[in-house]
Amino acid sequence: MNFPRKSPTFYSLKKRNTSLTPHQFHYDVFLSFRGEDTRKTISDDLYNALIEAGIHTFRDDDELPRGNDISSELIKAIRESRASIVVFSKDYGSSRWCLDELVEILECKRTVDQLVFPVFYDVDRDDVIRQTGSFEAAFARHEFRFDGDKVEKWRGALTEVARLDGWELCHHASRSEKSEFVQEIVTKVRHKVKPKLFVAKHPIGLVSRIEELKSLCKDRLDDGCVIGIHGPL
């Protein structure tokens, strides 16, 4: 009996979508930002707040000069993240590595339904969408240095991601406004991502507590008991 041939295109897409199933996500969030602009301001505050909320977050802490392309470790981290937060700043568009990250993030959004949350810090959303303002000068340099197809891919990624629902904040905002801003992002991301409990590979200080718990249970096994356990959420 002859069976109809499967469409090669359909098989290719199915193969790609099932190559990274939800249970294989290692991080809840990948944090993309231009280090020189926001590492010691909004990005640092946001990272710390995400960690405190129990959201397992990856950020690139490597401040050393990079090669021509983003590292395989960064690509792997993006692909293993359930969501990405992209912090757009005035000089985000001048970094080819940030732009390459953005292209990879957008690819994951399309292929594995990665959630993407844009944050606009001291930059106008329209400038990101249309590559005007500080982005215009950056792309004038890119078009002189890089292949046209690559530059168009960067432009397309900026436009598509910047049109997603996100948050905008001016650097002149007060400390309390910034704190509320960060907490609003964390609350929304936590609701969408629903992070699972992250346990370190080699947890420290748990063995003695587990032994104490076993002892309490053993001593009251015949009578029955209720034991309360408390700690940070």
pLDDT in tens, 142-188: 999 999 999 999 999 999 999 999 999 987 778 889 899 999 999 99
Contact 194, 82 (CB under 8 A): no
What is the rounded distance in angstroms from the CA atom of residue 66 to the CA atom of residue 60? Answer: 12
Q: How far is CA 4 from CA 1, 7, 74, 180, 212, in A?
A: 10, 9, 41, 58, 64
pLDDT of 98: 93
Distance CA 103, CA 97 (A): 10
How many angstroms separate the CA atoms of 130 and 90, rounded? 13
Using an 8 Å Cβ cutoff, are 78 and 108 in contact?
yes
- Give 126-141 pLDDT, tens digit per residue: 999 999 999 999 999 9
pTM confidence score: 0.73
Sheet holding 115-121, edge to edge: 57-59, 27-33, 81-88, 115-121, 167-169
Distance (Å, whole) CA 128 – CA 60: 22
Average pLDDT for 98-109: 96
Q: What is the pLDDT of residue 219?
A: 65
What are the tens digits of pLDDT across the range 199-231? 555 565 667 777 777 777 766 666 667 777 776
The verdict on whether 104 is a catalytic residue reads: no
Burial of 170 (0-12, 13-18, 19+ CB in 10 A): exposed
pLDDT at residue 11 in the model: 31
Q: What's the confidence (pLDDT) of residue 99?
A: 96
* Catalytic residue (choose from 52, 101, 107, 160): 101
* pLDDT 10s digits, 3-35: 444 433 333 333 344 444 444 789 999 999 998
